[in-house]
Amino acid sequence: MKNGTAGLMRRSPAVLLPAPRITRRPVVPEFIRIHPTQQVANGGWIVMADPWELILHHTYAGTPGTACDLSPARSHGDRHGDVSFLKDGASADSGAIRVGNEDSGVRVACGKEWAELGALRGEVRFRQDYTYADPSFFQTLIATPSFDFMTYAPSYAPARHIRIRLRPHSALQFSLIRGEGVPFGQWLTWGFVYDGRSTVQLTLNGQVVKSASGVFTSLPSGSGTDLDIGNTLPGAYVGGYLLDGLIDEVKIWRRNPHRMGSDFLGRPMDDDVAACWATWGRAIATWLRENPQCADPLSGLLSLLDQALDTVTSGADPVLAARFESAVGQYRTLWSAGHVNDPAMVAVLLEIYGVLRQAGIEPEYSIEEIVNSECWRRLFAEVPPPDCDGELVALVNETARQLGERQRNVRRPAAE
């Protein structure tokens, strides 16, 4: 850990610097998506990033015959075949669609926003009807190569069930089902949440109604694939069939890939410090774009560390998982309140380190692998870390000092 710290902060002083005085709300660059800020008692500000990023929000209340995407992705769907656009849905003028036959539906081309799915969340406001003489066993709400969300009626029950099916890859799938949960003729919002690691949930009107835990893997990239709504169109991955009912609204979120940067700047700091970190972040991004041969290895090494964290949070050891979750929660509370150079923050980081060690993970080895690579040396030679944040420098130095002291104490008895 000390080696990594030296490489990261070699331009920064090794002594504690005066903490910057907070006089106004921190400036957060526009390229970072954040929640509205919330003032705290000490005069600082909490600016926490939304853990989810909306990548699809279909509504059918606009131009007749048009599936409009209100998300920043603007993935407006194409109408295929017999799709009726109705003026009223769950409420007056909210709009809705009905798919007329098995060759029809709404198809969405998934763009770059679907390249990194990881965790996933979705909601569909719809009304299940029972108008067809021979209703399909499976009825599609959403169908993609990575996952599908549908209702179905097994032969042993007259009522329809709700199901989310995940396909991390073609040879593996996981389904979570809530039996007899879809009444006919009622507008309801059914949803699902997949944390990308260990938990899948089904929700009804925003409340969890069923969940399952295990060791799962992240979903593959959906970029360049198609998403079908109301039916699985010909040529798509095998899914369900047309929905006997109306769909009012469809929403899908992915895990926010900008959250780390948002949370990092989301602590009380003065304008100069915020601008300093933002400028350095843009310089790093430019360097990685100009040196793609280094971007992939560095991303791969960071992914290995992320997989190590998955091991702890998978629930295989509930006690360790609970300790880790508690420590992370304390970290976020202290960080967002501006208590960076604080003994409590050092203690929390040491607790996280201890949990990882107890789980059989050696964090310093991953860090050393990163900081000892040629790409890392070039990166920080050409884009040196800034020396504008005394509080963060003090935190890193003190944490590294205590970790080094711990390691010396562990080794001392063997040496004696």
Q: Is there a single domain that holds both residue 301 and residue 387?
A: yes
Query: Which pLDDT score is estimated for 43?
Result: 32
Model confidence at 156: pLDDT above 90: no
Which residue, of 223, 239, 255, is where some domain finishes? 255
- H or E stretch including 64? none
Shared domain for 276 and 130, answered yes or no, is no
Domain range spanning residue 13? Answer: 2-48+258-415
The residue out of 218, 238, 255 marking a domain boundary is 255
Q: Are residues 66 and 158 in the same domain?
A: yes
What was the pLDDT predicted at 241?
Answer: 85
What pLDDT is recorded for position 386? 82
Are residues 225 and 150 part of one domain?
A: yes
Spatial distance between the Cα atoms of 326 and 29, rounded to a whole number of angstroms: 30
CATH of the domain at 151: 2.60.120.200
pLDDT at 304: 58
Spatial distance between the Cα atoms of 353 and 364, rounded to a whole number of angstroms: 9
**Are 410 and 294 part of one and the same domain?**
yes
In the structure, what pLDDT confidence band is assigned to residue 36 with cuts at 50, 70 and 90? very low
> Tokens 């050393």 identify what position?
368
pLDDT surpasses 80 at 234: no
Measured CA to CA, the distance from residue 339 to residue 141 in angstroms comes to 46
Of 17-21, 215-219, 258-262, least confident by mean pLDDT is 17-21
Last residue of a domain, one of 225, 255, 285: 255
Question: What is the residue-wise DSSP string for 311-331?
Answer: HHHTSSSHHHHHHHHHHHHHH
Percentage of the chain modeled with pLDDT above 90: 26
Locate 120 and state its tokens: 């996933």
Q: Each residue of 354-388: pLDDT tens digit? A: 887 787 766 655 566 666 778 888 888 898 878 88
The distance between the two most distant Cα atoms of the chain, rounded to a whole number of Å, is: 84
Q: Are residues 290 and 377 in the same domain?
A: yes
CA separation for the pair 298, 380 (Å, rounded) = 13
What's the domain count of the chain?
A: 2
78 shares its domain with 179: yes
Is residue 246 within 8 Å of residue 96, measured between CB atoms?
A: yes
Give yes or no: residues 106 and 31 share one domain: no
Same domain, 141 and 216: yes
Q: Do 159 and 144 lie in a common domain?
A: yes
Beta strands in 195-328 (DSSP E): 199-204, 207-213, 226-229, 245-255
Q: Could you give the CA distance from residue 98 to residue 126 in angstroms, rounded to a whole number?
A: 10
When pLDDT is averaged across residues 52-79 and rounded to a whole number, the result is 91
Q: In terms of domains, do 283 and 172 share one?
A: no
Would you say residue 40 has pLDDT above 60?
no
Residues 275 and 370 in one domain: yes
Q: What pLDDT is stored for residue 121 in this prediction?
A: 92
pTM for the predicted model, two decimal places: 0.64
Q: How many CA atoms lie within 13 A of 362 on its CB side?
A: 6
Please give the Cα distance from 343 to 330 (Å, whole number): 13
